[in-house]
Structure 1
Amino acid sequence: MNMLIALLLFLLPVLFLLSWRRRGSSRKLPPGSLGIPIVGQSISLLRAMRTNRGEEWLRERVRKHGPISKLTLFGKPTVFIHGQAANKFVFHGDSTMVANKQTSSIRAILGDRNLLELSGQDHKRVRDSLMSFLRPESLKQYVGNMDEEVRKHIELHWLGKEKVAVLPLMKNLTFNIICSLLFGLEERADRDIFVQNFQEMIEGMWSIPVKLPFTRYNRSLRASSRVQNLLKELVQEKKVKLEQRTATPHQDLITCLLSKRNEEDERVVTDKEILHNIMLIMVAGHDTSSVLITFMLRLLSKNPAVHKAVLQEQEDIARGKISGEPLTWEDLARMKYTWRVAMETLRMVPPIFGGFRVALRDIDYGGYLIPKGWQIFWASNMTHMDETIFPEPSKFDPARFENQMSVPPYSFIPFGGGPRICPGNEFARIETLVAIHYLVTQYSWELCSDDHYIRDPMPVPSQGLLLRIVPKKQK
């Protein structure tokens, strides 16, 4: 009897191991190497991006390992997936399997209660609150304010200049628009300090999360703390004005979020969620729109026929205006060709290189196992530059977007997709169209710098896209 028990005790672990191996054989990890713990392939990817070889780096992985592979990025084991099915899985997948979760560096800098981190009912609650201000019906009333900001910017930074570096100027413009229209932050002495801290904060968002004094990550964390302190003061000011009834619920995004209440008269969005989502919108609105406008000017300078068509559309609109009259929502609706140019720019140079999700449980994907807790990494360019989806992908051709229905689902993803589509995309469309209207109708330009750009992690053209500009005679 004792011998039988001993034999069973010996055989049970062996049988369990054999069973586990059989079960695990159909759930193997994707090919590839995790590399050095924490660091992994992070430095290699960042180096490739900073020499504008990020897409090539990813395609080399695909050639070597196939459509799915494992690696380590920014401190965590990661699975890289790509293609239309992968995009659909990321943006419209089962919320019990995949959740929003950015890299630890982004999460530490922007906070853990922003839309990029929230899932399920929390995501819906906060997103619905943001959309109550950012939906087209609400934004219509702000076109005139946007028009005023753009005119003021051109008068201060373009008028009388022979050369301009476009990207820094567009960042200045989009930051001022965000401060004025979204946050109700008027011109004041501490805005320059705010801008400096903000710029330092975003530099370390894609970085290895090592908190040492000399690292980008550490500098960004300190800058993030300073930015949050400034924003807390701003939120508190808005609270006081609402209590004193000297502010209206829809005069800016912050007061709108502070005013949202449920049936029990409780605040819908917490102070922490307001703070973290302000941080997110600042980064998204500042960088993505400034990059889009900059690269539209770059591509227009290289494509005279496209430039001519955009100019004709914008001059037709300008001719219908009384001198000094601001653009209207109806004017923007007529800028169909210009927006197709914007979308083709977003296809070729998407501001967002890629993003991350996290596996909430073990997932079978493409014949491989994505273990619970691992990151899932996707990249925009993998479908944007796929010649089976967009023929001659290196050719700048706005006609691709004449019929939106002809673009396959989950192949064009500069703003994300499905329920995860960027809530600020309409805001970005308005400021882009207003800025392009005044730039193309008031100035001619030619490139003074070379045609190269890097990613850090947003696209940055050589010398900030240096242009020689010539003002047009206003009729």
Structure 2
Amino acid sequence: MAMFCGAEGNKFIFTNDNKLVFPWFPKSLSLVLFAEFFENSSRKLSTPRRRFQYNSLKHEVLKQYIPVIDQTAREHIEKEWAPNQEVKVLPPMKKYTFSLACFIFMNIAEAEKIKKLADPFDIVSKGLRLSLPINLPGFAFKGAIKAAKVVREQLVKIMRERKEELMKNKGKEVQPDSLTQMLLYTDEDGQFMSEIEIGINIMGLLLAKYESTSNHGSPYLERRGSV
């Protein structure tokens, strides 16, 4: 097993896709994220484009979000933690990291929009993490597949709203979030990414941040209650 850390590790992974690094997904995860492609085997999913994702995750870009991260954390603690005598860390941590991911990846800060994504997304996460990958009624995995479809539908609405904004503000500088970069990205043939492909990429980013960041942050806070 090889571990890649820091900026150089990110650069290596994001700029060597399909050269030295090849993506692989478990079948259970693929069935949730790529459901449309399982339903229609004649469709092909192109390999996710990582170079533009790397540009949006560079240190100099992420530094711009430090004030937002700090302010969001303060508001979250004041609203979700301060009123309680006892706090179960993991649920509010997931809520915080998901809200932050929505802002960083899609520039979405509206609580209503985030909730429409977060509620079904939590079902997706639990179905992948806590259940056997059995696609039958009554199993959590089946619920995860249905919930993932709801998430993708919400993402399509967000994409179309963003497209309208970009058309209205054509020629003006735009926020370099991942969603905007995906909408503007074209391959060597001048083809734009499809809505389905963008949705899959965004879901992958959200899923990675939803579990890993929350699970790493919770033990830290548990050991340092004074924080």
Q: Pick the aligned partner of 2:32 from 109, 120, 133.
A: 109
Aligned counterparts of 2:181 and 2:35: Cα–Cα separation in 1: 21
Q: Distance in 2 between matches of 1:264 and 1:250?
A: 25
How many residues end up aligned between the 2 structures? 204
Corresponding position of 1:228:
152
Are the equivalent residues in 2 in contact too, given 1:133–1:250 (CA < 8 A)? no
Given the alignment, which residue of 259, 271, 278 partners 2:202?
278
Q: Of 289, 294, 298, which aligns to 2:213?
A: 289
Opposite residue 228 of structure 1, the aligned amino acid is R
CA–CA distance in 2 between the matches of 1:225 and 1:195? 13
The normalised TM-score by structure 2 is: 0.77
1:68 equivalent in structure 2: none
SS of 2:65's partner is helix
Instruction: Give yes or no for the alignment of 1:260 onto 2:181.
Output: no
Residue 179 of structure 1 corresponds to which residue in structure 2?
A: 102
Residues 60-459 of structure 1 mapped to structure 2, 5 A cutoff: 87-88=1-2, 99-111=22-34, 122-123=47-48, 126-206=49-129, 207-245=131-169, 248-261=173-186, 265-267=190-192, 269-300=193-224, 440=227
| 5+ residue gaps, structure 2 | 4-11, 37-45
CA RMSD of aligned residues (A): 3.0
Provide the rounded CA distance (Å) in 2 between the counterparts of 1:97 and 1:133.
Answer: 21
More strand by share: 1
1:253 partner letter = S
- 3-state SS of paired residue (1:205): helix
Deviations 1:28-63 (A, max 9, x none): xxxxxxxxxxxxxxxxxxxxxxxxxxxxxxxxxxxx
SS of structure 2 residue aligned to 1:175: helix
Distance 1:264 1:192, change over 3 A: closer
| Residues 116 and 154 in structure 2, CA contact (< 8 A), matched pair in contact too | no
Q: Deviations over 1:423-466 (max 9, x none)?
A: xxxxxxxxxxxxxxxx72xxxxxxxxxxxxxxxxxxxxxxxxxx
Q: Deviations over 1:299-341 (max 9, x none)?
A: 345xxxxxxxxxxxxxxxxxxxxxxxxxxxxxxxxxxxxxxxx
More helix as a share of residues: 2
Return the offset for 1:262: 5.2
- Asked if the contact 1:105/1:208 (under 8 Å) is kept, the reply is no
Separation in structure 1 between the aligned mates of residue 28 and residue 47 of structure 2, nearest angstrom: 22
Provide closer, same or farther for how the CA distance between residues 264 and 184 of structure 1 changes in structure 2, counting only shifts above 3 A: same
Structure 1 residues not aligned, in runs of 5+: 1-86, 114-120, 302-438, 441-475
Following superposition, the deviation at residue 184 of structure 1 comes to 1.9
Q: For residue 106 of structure 1, report the CA deviation from its aligned partner.
A: 0.5
Distance 1:257 1:249, change over 3 A: farther
Partner amino acid for 1:157? E
**Amino acid aligned to 1:175:** F
Give the fraction of aligned pairs with identical amino acids, expressed as a percent: 25
Deviation at 1:97, TM superposition (A): 11
Aligned mates of 2:99, 2:173 — CA distance in 1: 21
Contact 1:105/1:204 (<8 A) preserved: no
Tell me the CA shift for residue 190 of structure 1: 4.7
Using the alignment, how far apart are the partners of 1:250 and 1:112 within structure 2?
30
